């Protein structure tokens, strides 16, 4: 196999990643309907399912996920191979989360498997659960579930913190004025997603 | 002149007989270290002591010893070229270390940089990359008149910033992925900013990034560890610029 510039791998990570970020924002918006009661939440869920546009985007979403994960693994393995003898003593000059995208990615992947199993499978595939609101609230009543949920979102927050800024660099965009703004947006995004999802989970656990 | 206090150091140095050897750390004690010695002078003194004791001296590389050739370089206490900002090891002085300190010295580590002996690594991989695009085409013959090719001052200044790369390899050593992105991008950006570099502009970026891959360097994951350790302060904005050059070349169909 002839060697191809790493940018061709990286751009796939970046583009699929940005699409996944968009999804995270929309999903959080949908989650907020949990606060409006059983009726509103279940109607919203049914509405989304009957929307043909959403069904198409869903396919894209799964494809993005598969490519993002696949290339993530490929990039990680390739990059690890580039240093066959590790340092005995090393003082990295870069924050841990920028070096550990594979770790945060793995935690998010584990979370995703559990998440799909507890919601998507019973509601959409086996049809065991008909009342999504009940299913969600009941699932979040389990402190271990909610605990792991929050931990996973903290990892996701760190993943995003690097990912957002990194994507623009990959596209070749590094600007004296706009890059600092992009960085701030990255922080807002990472904290917003982590806190937003966690708050919904905590409210479901404590109050609903 | 006031009496300078000398220092006592414990040095843990990576010793490796050849590329096939496993390698190990060996510990040396060195007394009466003058704070005004450079790091390499300190190693010279240690080597003289080792020779006197009938032991094999530590192999390391250096040439100019004034921070401009890029020959020297290893990892000191986990930092490429040591902890001092924008400094090569030959320009790093012992006054930046503490009396009684233990200093760990390791070669730059990357799959593309096999250890030849002790602290000496083979950096030919970097030369192979340069050969693939670090040149421009000019007509031979008499020198052209000055100013026949106008270059905006801003561009020539920026190009020069990237031209100051000395090819030391510290960016690769400091990168969690052992990526040569900073080194490669310095050359791509330097030549992309100047009209003289334009005939090979698209070919250069593709060839050099492909060569980087072939030589077994990792990909850049934008951790920016390189920029911190670069003795010449090459900026990671050059990596963005090189990325842009690559996408531009792709869009143009190269
Ligand atoms: S970019 Fe900096 S660290 Fe990398 S080779 Fe050039 S001078 Fe050395
Ligand atoms: S010996 Fe030339 S840069 Fe250090």
Mean pLDDT confidence for B195-210: 96
ipTM value > 0.90? yes
Would you state the pLDDT for residue B198? 95
Residues B168, B68 share a domain: no
Testing ligand 1's pocket by substitution, the residue of B86, B89, B160, B168 carrying the most ligand atoms inside 8 A of its CB is B168
Q: Do B245 and A172 touch (CB under 8 A)?
A: yes
Residues B138, B76 share a domain: no
How far is the centre of ligand 1, averaged over its atoms, from the C-alpha of B179 (Å)?
A: 12
Residue B30 DSSP SS3: strand
Nearest to A5 among B83, B104, B209 (CB): B209
Last-in-domain residue among B93, B117, B141: B117
Question: For residue A117, is pLDDT > 50?
Answer: yes
Which range, A2-6, A120-124, A190-194, is most confident?
A190-194
CATH number, domain at B32?
3.10.20.30
| pLDDT, tens digit (0-9, with 9 covering 90-100), for A118-158 | 999 999 899 888 899 999 999 999 999 999 999 999 999 99
Q: Do B109 and A10 touch (CB under 8 A)?
A: no
Would you state the pLDDT for residue B52? 98
Local confidence band at B33 (pLDDT 50, 70, 90 cut-offs)? very high
Would you state the pLDDT for residue A96? 97
Quick one: which of A149, A153, A150, A160 has its CA closest to A183?
A160
Range of the domain at B21: 7-117
Last-in-domain residue among B117, B136, B165: B117
Q: Which residues of A touch B74 (CB under 8 A)?
A: none
Q: Do A79 and B246 touch (CB under 8 A)?
A: no
Which residue owns the Cα nearest ligand 1 atom 5?
A: B167
The answer to whether position B1 is within a domain reads no
The first and second tokens of residue B50, run together, are 């080792």
Would you state the pLDDT for residue A208? 82
Local confidence band at A1 (pLDDT 50, 70, 90 cut-offs)? very low
| pLDDT, tens digit (0-9, with 9 covering 90-100), for B35-56 | 999 999 999 999 999 999 999 9
Local confidence band at B141 (pLDDT 50, 70, 90 cut-offs)? confident
DSSP A93-151: SS-HHHH-HHHHHHHHHHHHHHHIIIIIIIIIIS-----HHHHHHHHHTSHHHHHHHHH
Q: Considering just the CA atoms, what is the radius of gyration of chain A in Å?
A: 19
Q: What residues does ligand 1 touch, defined as CB less than 6 Å away?
A: B 165-171, 182-183, 186, 230-232, 234
| pLDDT, tens digit (0-9, with 9 covering 90-100), for A56-86 | 999 999 999 999 999 999 999 999 999 999 9
Question: For residue B66, is pLDDT > 90?
Answer: yes
Closest chain B residue by Cα to residue A95: B223
Residues B138, B208 share a domain: yes
Question: For residue B1, is pLDDT > 60?
Answer: no
Local confidence band at B2 (pLDDT 50, 70, 90 cut-offs)? low
Residues B166, B109 share a domain: no
The answer to whether position B2 is within a domain reads no
> pTM, whole model, 2 decimals?
0.95
Name the residue with tokens 């090393």. Answer: A90
Residue B61 Cα: closest atom of ligand 2 = 1
Q: How many CB pairs under 8 A join A and B?
A: 129
Residues B131, B237 share a domain: yes
Quick one: which of A189, A109, A53, A78 has its CA closest to B221?
A78
Question: For residue A6, is pLDDT > 90?
Answer: yes
Would you state the pLDDT for residue A133? 96
Would you state the pLDDT for residue A74? 97
Domains along the sequence of chain A with CATH: 3-206 (1.20.1300.10)
Q: Do A94 and B25 touch (CB under 8 A)?
A: no
Distance CA A35, CA B192 (A): 55
Domain count for chain B, please give it. 2
């Amino acid at each position: 196999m002839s060697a191809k510039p790493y940018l061709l791998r990286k751009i796939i990570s970046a583009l699929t990643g940005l699409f996944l970020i968009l999804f995270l924002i929309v999903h959080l918006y949908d989650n907020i309907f949990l606060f409006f009661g059983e009726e509103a939440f279940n109607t919203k869920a049914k509405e989304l399912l009957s929307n043909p546009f959403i069904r198409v985007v869903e396919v894209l979403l799964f494809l993005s996920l598969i490519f993002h994960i696949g290339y993530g693994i490929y990039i990680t393995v390739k990059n690890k191979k580039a240093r066959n003898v590790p340092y005995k003593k090393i003082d990295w000059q870069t924050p841990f989360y920028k070096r550990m995208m594979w770790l945060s990615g793995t935690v998010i992947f584990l979370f995703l498997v559990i998440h799909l199993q507890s919601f998507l499978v019973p509601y959409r595939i086996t049809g065991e659960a008909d009342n999504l609101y009940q299913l969600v609230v009941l699932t979040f009543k389990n402190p271990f579930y909610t605990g792991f949920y929050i931990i996973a979102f903290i990892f996701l927050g760190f993943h995003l913190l690097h990912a957002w800024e990194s994507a623009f660099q990959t596209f070749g965009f590094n600007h004296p004025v706009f890059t600092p703004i992009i960085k701030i947006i990255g922080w807002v995004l990472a904290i917003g997603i982590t806190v937003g999802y966690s708050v919904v989970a905590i409210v479901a656990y404590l109050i609903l | 002149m006031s009496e300078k206090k000398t220092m006592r150091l414990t040095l843990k140095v990576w010793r490796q007989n050849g590329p096939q050897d496993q390698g190990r750390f060996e510990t040396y004690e060195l007394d009466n270290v003058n704070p005004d010695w450079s790091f390499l002078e300190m190693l010279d003194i240690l080597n003289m002591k080792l020779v006197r004791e009938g032991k094999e001296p530590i192999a390391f590389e250096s040439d100019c010893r004034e921070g401009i050739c890029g020959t020297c370089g290893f990892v000191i206490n986990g930092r490429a070229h040591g902890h001092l900002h924008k400094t090569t090891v030959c320009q790093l002085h012992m006054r930046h270390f503490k009396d009684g300190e233990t200093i760990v010295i390791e070669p730059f580590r990357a799959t593309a940089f096999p250890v030849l002996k002790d602290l000496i690594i083979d950096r030919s991989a970097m030369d192979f990359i340069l050969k693939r695009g670090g040149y421009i085409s000019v007509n031979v013959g008499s020198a052209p008149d000055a100013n026949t090719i106008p270059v905006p001052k801003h561009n020539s200044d920026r190009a020069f910033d990237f031209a100051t790369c000395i090819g030391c390899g510290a960016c690769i050593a400091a990168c969690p992925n052992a990526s040569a992105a900073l080194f490669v991008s310095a050359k791509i950006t330097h030549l992309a900013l100047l009209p003289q570099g334009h005939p090979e502009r698209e070919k250069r970026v593709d060839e050099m990034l492909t060569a980087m891959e072939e030589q077994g360097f990792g990909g850049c994951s934008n951790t920016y560890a390189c920029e911190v350790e670069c003795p010449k302060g090459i900026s990671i904005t050059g990596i963005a610029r090189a990325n842009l050059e690559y996408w531009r070349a792709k869009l143009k169909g190269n």
